[in-house]
Amino acid sequence: MANYSTNEFKGGLKVMLDGDPCSIIENELVKPGKGQAFNRVKLRNLMTGRVGERTFKSGDSLEGADVMELEMEYLYNDSEMWYFMKTDGSFEQYAVEKKALGDTEKWLKEQAPYTVTLWNDNAIQVSPPNFIELEVVETDPGLKGDTAQGGSKPATLSSGAVVRVPLFINEGEVLKIDTRSGEYVSRA
User: Which parts of this chain interact with other proteins (CB under 8 A)?
Assistant: 7, 18, 27-38, 40, 52-60
Q: 7 or 181, CB closer to other proteins?
A: 7
Distance from C-alpha of 123 to C-alpha of 95, rounded to nearest angstrom: 7
Residue environment code for 35-70, b if the CB has 16+ CB neighbours within 10 A, otherwise e: eeebbebebbebeeeeeeeeebeeeeebebbebeeb
5 contacts 59 by C-beta, under 8 angstroms? yes
Q: Which residues contact 75 (CB under 8 A, 6 or more apart)?
A: 83, 84, 85, 93, 110
Q: How far is the CB of 32 from other proteins (least distance, A)?
A: 4
Say if residues 138 and 158 touch (Cβ distance below 8 Å): no
Q: Rank residues 32 and 89 by Cβ distance to other proteins and give the closer one.
A: 32
3-class DSSP assignment, residue 117: strand
Instruction: Using the minimum distance from each CB to other proteins, give the nearer residue, 41 or 96.
Output: 41
- Residue closer to other proteins, measured from CB, 27 or 104: 27
Distance of alpha carbon 2 from the chain centroid: 26
The CA distances from residue 16 to 1, 22, 119, in Å, are: 10, 6, 11
Q: How far is the CB of 47 from other proteins (least distance, A)?
A: 18
Q: How far is the CB of 36 from other proteins (least distance, A)?
A: 4
Q: Which of 43, 163 has the CB closer to other proteins?
A: 43
Write down the least CB distance from residue 46 to other proteins, Å: 18
Shortest reach from residue 133's CB to other proteins, in Å: 35
